[in-house]
Amino acid sequence: MLPQLLANGLCAGALYAIVALGFGIIYRSTGVFHFAHGAIYTIAAYLTYLMLVATNIWWPVAVAVALLGAAFSGVLAELLVYRPIQKRRASPLAALIGSFGIYLFAVNLIALIAGNETKVLRPGVDITFEVGSVILTRFQLLGFATFVVTLVAFFLFKKSRLGRLLTAFSDNPALVEVLGWNASVIRIAIFAAGSLLAGISAIISVMDIGMDPHVGMSALLISAVAVVVGGVKLFEGAIVGGVVLGIVQSLVVWQFSVRWMDVFTFSILVLFLVLRPQGLLGKKVRLEEV
Amino acid sequence: MNYLLHILVMIGIYLILTQSLNLVMGYTGLLSVCHAAFYGIGAYASTLLMTSWGVNFFVALIASIVISMLLSFVVSIPTLRLRGDYFVLGTLGFQAIIFGIMYNWISFTRGPYGIPGIPSPSLFGFVFDSPSSYVSLTTAFALLTVGFVYLITSSQFGRVLKTIREDEIASQAIGKDPLFFKTTSFALGAGVAAIAGSLYAGYMRYIDPTSFTIAESLFLITILAIGGSGNIKGPIVGTVILVVLPEVLRFLQIPDTVAPNIRMMLYALALILLVIYRPRGLAGEYGFE
ipTM metric = 0.87
Distance (Å, whole) CA A129 – CA A72: 36
pLDDT classification of A52: cutoffs 50, 70, 90: confident
CB contacts, 8 Å: A105 with chain B: 264-265, 268-269, 272
Q: Is residue A241 part of a domain?
A: no
* Tens-digit pLDDT profile for residues B233-274: 999 999 999 988 888 887 887 777 788 888 889 989 999 999
Q: Is residue A255 part of a domain?
A: no
* Tens-digit pLDDT profile for residues A65-75: 999 999 999 99
Task: State residue A286's pLDDT score.
Answer: 57
* Tens-digit pLDDT profile for residues A188-225: 999 999 999 999 999 999 888 888 888 999 899 999 99
Q: Is residue A238 part of a domain?
A: no
Question: What is the residue range of A36's domain?
Answer: 2-223
Q: Give, in degrees to the nearest 5, the angle at Cα B102 between B218 and A211.
A: 60
Closest to B279 (Cβ–Cβ): which among A90, A92, A100? A90
> Which residues, 6 or more positions from A133, have their beta carbon under 8 angstroms from its beta carbon?
A3, A4
User: Looking at chain B, which residue has its C-alpha nearest residue A110?
Assistant: B261
pLDDT above 70 (res A290) = no
- Which has the closest alpha carbon to A33: A106, A110, A90, A72? A90
What value does the CA radius of gyration of chain B take, rounded to a whole number of Å? Answer: 19
Percent of residues, chain B, with pLDDT higher than 70: 100
pLDDT above 80 (res A284) = no
**Count of the separate structural domains present in chain A:** 1
> Which residues, 6 or more positions from A113, have their beta carbon under 8 angstroms from its beta carbon?
none
Q: Is residue A129 part of a domain?
A: yes
Percent of residues, chain A, with pLDDT higher than 90: 41
CB contacts, 8 Å: B93 with chain A: 225, 266-267, 269-270, 273
DSSP tally for chain A: helices H, then strands E: 12, 2
Distance (Å, whole) CA A147 – CA A139: 12
Distance (Å, whole) CA A98 – CA A213: 20
A76, A271, B161 from B24: Cα distances, Å:
33, 23, 9
Residue A120 or B185, more confident: B185
What value does the CA radius of gyration of chain A take, rounded to a whole number of Å? Answer: 19
pLDDT above 90 (res A232) = no
Distance (Å, whole) CA B28 – CA B180: 12
CB contacts, 8 Å: A267 with chain B: 93, 97
What ranges in chain B are assigned the alpha helix state H?
Answer: 2-21, 35-53, 57-79, 84-104, 106-109, 131-154, 156-166, 168-173, 178-204, 214-227, 233-251, 259-277
Distance (Å, whole) CA A252 – CA A242: 15
Task: State residue A287's pLDDT score.
Answer: 53
pLDDT classification of A25: cutoffs 50, 70, 90: very high
Distance (Å, whole) CA A83 – CA A182: 14
Rounded to the nearest 5°, which phi and psi values hold at A233? -70, -20
Bridge partner list, B127: B122
**Interface residues of chain B, partner chain A, Cβ below 8 Å:** 31, 78-79, 81-86, 88-90, 92-94, 96-97, 100-101, 103-104, 218, 221-222, 225, 258, 260-262, 264-265, 267-269, 271-272, 275-276, 279, 287-289
* Tens-digit pLDDT profile for residues B95-114: 999 999 999 888 888 888 88
pLDDT above 80 (res A285) = no
Amino acid (one-letter) located at A161: R
* Tens-digit pLDDT profile for residues A76-117: 999 999 999 888 877 888 888 899 999 999 999 999 988 888
What's the rounded mean pLDDT across residues B70-74?
94
Nearest-CA distance from B81 to chain A in Å?
8
Q: Is residue A252 part of a domain?
A: no
pLDDT above 80 (res B127) = no
Task: State residue A110's pLDDT score.
Answer: 93
Average pLDDT value for chain B: 89
Rounded to the nearest 5°, which phi and psi values hold at A248? -60, -45
Q: What is the DSSP letter of A128?
A: E
pTM of the predicted protein model: 0.89
Q: Is residue A135 part of a domain?
A: yes
CA dihedral over B151, B153, B154, B155, signed as positive or negative: positive
Bridge partner list, B126: B123
pLDDT classification of A277: cutoffs 50, 70, 90: confident
Q: Is residue A282 part of a domain?
A: no
User: Looking at chain B, which residue has its C-alpha nearest residue A278?
Assistant: B86
Rounded to the nearest 5°, which phi and psi values hold at B224? -70, -35
pLDDT classification of A252: cutoffs 50, 70, 90: confident
Rounded to the nearest 5°, which phi and psi values hold at A128? -115, 160
User: Looking at chain A, which residue has its C-alpha nearest residue B99?
Assistant: A263
Q: Is residue A43 part of a domain?
A: yes
- Given an 8 Å threshold on Cβ–Cβ distance, is A288 in contact with B288? no
